[in-house]
Amino acid sequence: MNVLVLNSGSSSQKSCLYEVGDSLPENPPGSVWEGKIEWADDKAQYSIKNSGGASRQDLISVGSREEAIERLLGSLWSGKTQAISGPSAIDVVGHRVVHGGPQHFEPSIVTAEVKSAIESVSVFAPLHNRAELEGMEIVAKKLGAVPQIAVFDTGFHRTMPLSAATYPGPYHWLEQGIRRYGFHGINHQYCSQRAAQLLGKDPNSLKLVTCHLGNGCSLAAIFGGRSVDTTMGFTPLEGLMMGTRSGSVDPGILTYLIRQRQFSSQQLDEVLNQKSGLLGVSGISNDMRQILTASRKGHERAKLALDIYVHRLRSGIGAMIAVLGGVDALVFTAGVGENSPEVRAAVCENFAFLDLRLDPGKNAQSPLDEDISAPDATVRILVIHAQEDWMIARECWNLVQTATTPRGH
Ligand code: AMP
């Protein structure tokens, strides 16, 4: 089965193709083709590669998402990065959908009803959900009646108990859909399954804290393979400090800025989402690599940014462990989680009292999909490569199998 995965961001279009056989492989396979287009001003960075080693990179002008998808798909079935014979070789298309709202959690075949449900909650995540809906329309136009499947980033957190999902505001907030949804669910779920596999343990027996530390950052507390708490909430702004996002701040600051500084909703949105976090505090960058380098050179604000990042991460992990009532393994994933021994070491340092200890040699190597804890430590520490696209492809495969397997089999 050829599964095309589309990840439509506000200023990017990513896509990849997986070939899946009659059963799912135990270890995640590489994609046979992947491409992305990232817009910056009036130009776009285009990069494509296939598993045969062919690649292309260019600076191009692409005006619309439709043109971008057309260009990506063209490189999938023609030219030097070709991986399949033509559009008819695609069996199913999976879409990452950031927000499923209060109704949609399970991966779903895209129908008019599912699209209108995604549209109806797009006010919760306007930049993302609209881009994803556009991606679905374009695929229908270019590939005809191929089945499309929506996989929701909020889905994995549907199992959070009401006490974790409900804000302590007025009760009618909950009835209006103002509640904690949580995000990065596709990768938190993948990491929990992969962690059980790497540890050789039954997922139902495990208490895990997964740390998704990329441009966006979130934690999940996972008990028996189910999310019981997470740090992101109604929007992906709550919780940890991130690259350009503030994470949680006292809501009183917002009313102060509105009343005393006449901030508009747009200005608030901009300051909290784009001018805060590592970038806002350091004044130099949202990229952890640059923060670490500047901090080593004695840049005071970069050092403060790093200290806040680590402080909030430690207190968030502590909270997740308290919710779980213990922890068997801590998982680091995504850009910072997979690549920064310094951040992992700083975070773990304060949890030695739980006998959660790193093996410094292994930590320094940043090995992917490996256990980097000290051999005699009680709590395991894993680095797991984020695999959202593969998780989406797996969900598509599962749904197609279920839809085509006769009842009773
Ligand atoms: P992601 O959103 O998962 O692609 O993560 C992107 C972020 O990972 C970048 O903005 C960097 O801050 C961070 N990152 C990537 N490589 C490293 C590294 N070697 N050390 C520290 N941070 C890194």
Tell me which residue of 119, 181, 106, 187 sits closest to 150, measured CA to CA: 106
Residues 233 and 185: beta-carbon distance below 8 Å: no
Closest ligand 1 atom to residue 216 Cα is: 2
Q: What is the mean pLDDT of the chain?
A: 94
Residue 405 has what pLDDT?
64
pLDDT at 73 > cutoff 70 = yes
Share of the chain above pLDDT 90, in %: 83
Closest ligand 1 atom to residue 292 Cα is: 21
Q: How far is the CA of 252 from the centre of ligand 1 (A)?
A: 31
Q: Which two tokens stand for residue 300?
A: 């005071």
Per-residue model confidence as pLDDT tens digits over 1-33 = 999 999 988 788 899 999 999 999 989 999 999
Pocket test for ligand 1, best of 213, 244, 278, 288 (most atoms within 8 A of CB): 288
pLDDT at 220 > cutoff 90 = yes
Q: Which residue has the higher pLDDT, 125 or 198?
A: 198
Closest ligand 1 atom to residue 366 Cα is: 19
Pocket test for ligand 1, best of 191, 232, 336 (most atoms within 8 A of CB): 336
Closest ligand 1 atom to residue 386 Cα is: 3
Domain boundaries, the chain: 2-152, 202-383
Per-residue model confidence as pLDDT tens digits over 356-391 = 999 999 999 999 999 999 999 999 999 999 999 999
Residue nearest to atom 19 of ligand 1 (CA): 339
Instruction: Give the residue numbers marked as catalytic.
Output: 153
Residue nearest to atom 4 of ligand 1 (CA): 335
Pocket test for ligand 1, best of 7, 186, 218, 339 (most atoms within 8 A of CB): 339
Q: What is the pTM of this model?
A: 0.94
Give the residues surrounding ligand 1 with Cβ less than 6 Å away.
214-215, 243, 287-289, 334-336, 339-340, 386
Closest ligand 1 atom to residue 215 Cα is: 2
Residue 406 has what pLDDT?
55
Q: How far is the CA of 295 from the centre of ligand 1 (A)?
A: 16
* CATH number belonging to the domain at 2-152, selected among 3.30.420.40, 3.30.1600.10, 3.90.79.10, 3.40.50.300: 3.30.420.40
Q: How far is the CA of 1 from the centre of ligand 1 (A)?
A: 32
Residue 101 has what pLDDT?
85
Residue 310 has what pLDDT?
98
pLDDT at 127 > cutoff 90 = no
Q: How far is the CA of 77 from the centre of ligand 1 (A)?
A: 31
Topology alike, domains 2-152 and 202-383: yes
Residues 6 or more apart from 203 whose CB is under 8 A from it?
192, 193, 196, 224, 225
CATH of the domain spanning 202-383: 3.30.420.40
Q: How far is the CA of 286 from the centre of ligand 1 (A)?
A: 9
Q: How far is the CA of 340 from the centre of ligand 1 (A)?
A: 8
Per-residue model confidence as pLDDT tens digits over 256-302 = 999 999 999 999 999 999 999 999 999 999 999 999 999 999 999 99
